Amino acid sequence: METGSPDAAPARRRMTRRRRMRKWLMATAAALAVVFAGVWQLVPAGAQQTGGFSIEGTQLVDANGNPFIMRGSTHPDVWYQGEFESFGEISDLGANTVRVVLGSGHRDWGTTSAARVQQIVDECKAQRLICVLEVHDTTGYGEEASAASLDQAVTYWEGLYSVLEGEEAYVLINIGNEPIGNTDPGQWTQATVDAVDRMRDIGFEHTLVVDAPNWGQDWTNTMRDDAPTVAAADPLGNTLFSVHMYQVYSSPQTVIDYFDAFEAMGLPLIVGEYADTHQGSTVAWETIQSEAHARGIGWIGWSYSGNSDPILDQVLNFDPNQMTTYGERIFNSTYGIGNTAERATVYGDDPDPTTPTTSPTEEPTTGGPTEGDCTANITAVSSWGGGWQGNVSVTADQGAVDGWRLTWTWAGAARITSSWNADLTASGANVTAEDVGWNAAVASGQSREVFGFIASGATETPVVTCEAI
């Protein structure tokens, strides 16, 4: 979306291809050693390790080795530098992430200086926010005459290298916002490969976030189809894909289909921007939130305040006491920030998620618990003609659970058509689901939502048998 003086270029450091390959091989060897040993252990919060964010399959993982799911808002800093308190306000509302709009100097809103970027990073850390920095000048390149290219954006990042080096545990770099418009969206693939490659040549080891073409909405499915090519081009294997969901995603099924595609490829995805309405069209925001929650997909709402169209403001006049209906949906809905966000463990122990501020407008129907090592429930969270979505939770009743197997039998015609975060098999009406490793552990006396599915037929919530394995 779009509504100081230029820096003196800081000293540059280039990582040679040989050094990059050596680092990649060492990291790969270490990862394989862990896999073959059958070891997967999360580092306790507060025990910060060296390094930064990384990608493990579809999951963004923080510097402590713990999965991190973004729940955040966007602050348009380049246009509103007098609203620095917004970082603290966004954090106070429960967000764990803030996406920050920067200017590279190619558009008429000016350049975000290295000194300002340093202030932003320091403030994000002070507010316990993960900072996603993005260059906005690339918006609509190829269609917007004044837009910067991704290569020009990388040149801007090169000038920030000395500021961002060492911040890999707190900062992700969104190379360019909505970098290709609707004119020749196919150019996105090579331009993105080249940008990622050049960022690594400069020496950046951060997780790199790449936005889709078509003004971020990828209605031509260019990013969806070519994501494996871009992922393979990163020698560090540390690229995160970002789709912006506006009016193209007006129906729940378009959201589900897009999420399904990345899950099937085993590639990481976030919703880097979305709103509840856009340009007069309703966006399937409830599906974005519920599906993202069920699948462990991060999202960032656009934007906190200051839009030319105030329908996109989460609060009016940068005042958290003037929260809009849209803001309530971002921060206080059932699957909004206040109910689902958890701080990155690099900031230590935290009681998040916060106490729910709202309840579902309709009580979900759940299957009853059974006796055994653990209990499980199916919750029907949404339905539509001919189908519905179910989420499954596991409760550890008698000591901690380090792995689970669930079984149930449909009483009627319901059948699962797709699922996520479980190893699931079905034979007729009989279903068996097992954990996939990272979601195996449930603390004693605690409940955890572990996976979700889409089913055909009428909504059913059968009794589920849970076995600790």
178 catalytic? Reply is yes
What pLDDT is recorded for position 357? 37
Query: Which residues are CB-neighbours of 49 under 8 A, at least 6 positions away?
Result: 43, 63, 64, 65
Find the angle CA(258)-CA(263)-CA(267) to the nearest 5 degrees.
100
> Given the structure tokens 């955890």, which residue do they identify?
448
* Beta-sheet strand order (sheet of 447-456): 415-420, 447-456, 387-396, 374-384, 464-468, 404-409, 430-434, 423-427
What pLDDT is recorded for position 43? 35
Select from 434, 452, 338 the least CA-distant residue to 391: 452
| Ordered mean pLDDT values, 10 residues apiece, the chain (469 residues) | 38 36 42 36 36 95 95 98 97 98 96 97 97 98 96 98 97 98 97 98 98 98 98 97 98 97 97 96 96 96 96 97 97 96 85 39 41 82 80 90 93 88 90 88 86 89 94
How far is Cα 257 from Cα 244, in angstroms, rounded to an integer?
A: 14
Please identify which of the residues 273, 291, 342, 460 carries the catalytic annotation: 273
Query: Which residues are CB-neighbours of 286 under 8 A, at least 6 positions away?
Result: 252, 333, 335, 382
Question: In residues, how long is the chain?
Answer: 469
Find the angle CA(111)-CA(275)-CA(178) to the nearest 5 degrees.
40
What pLDDT is recorded for position 8? 30
Select from 465, 458, 467 the least CA-distant residue to 409: 465
Q: Specify the 3-state DSSP secondary structure of 449.
A: strand
In degrees and rounded to multiples of 5, residue 196 shows phi and psi of: -60, -45
What pLDDT is recorded for position 356? 37
The answer to pTM > 0.95 is: no
How far from the centroid of its chain's Cα atoms is residue 461's Cα? 29
452's tokens: 């979700």
Q: 229 near 189, Cβ under 8 Å? A: yes
What pLDDT is recorded for position 349? 58
DSSP structure class, residue 433: E
How far is Cα 314 from Cα 78, in angstroms, rounded to an integer?
A: 18
Beta bridge partners of 284: none
Q: What is the b/e burial string over 265-287, where b = at least 16 CB atoms within 10 angstroms of the residue's CB?
A: bebbbbbbbbbbbbeeeebbbbb
269's tokens: 């995805």
Q: Can you list the positions of beta strands (E) in 35-78?
A: 54-56, 59-61, 71-75
**Alpha-helical regions (H) of 63-179:** 86-92, 114-126, 150-158, 161-164
Residue type, 203: G
Q: 207 near 238, Cβ under 8 Å? A: yes
Find the angle CA(131)-CA(124)-CA(85) to the nearest 5 degrees.
120
Q: 419 near 451, Cβ under 8 Å? A: yes
Beta bridge partners of 452: 391, 420
207's tokens: 């997780």
Rg (C-alpha) for the chain, rounded Å, is: 22
Q: Specify the 3-state DSSP secondary structure of 107.
A: coil
Q: Can you list the positions of beta strands (E) in 156-308?
A: 171-174, 208-211, 239-245, 269-274, 277-278, 281-282, 298-301
Query: Count of CB atoms within 10 A of residue 434's CB?
Result: 18
Beta bridge partners of 375: 395, 465
Please identify which of the residues 134, 178, 205, 263 carries the catalytic annotation: 178
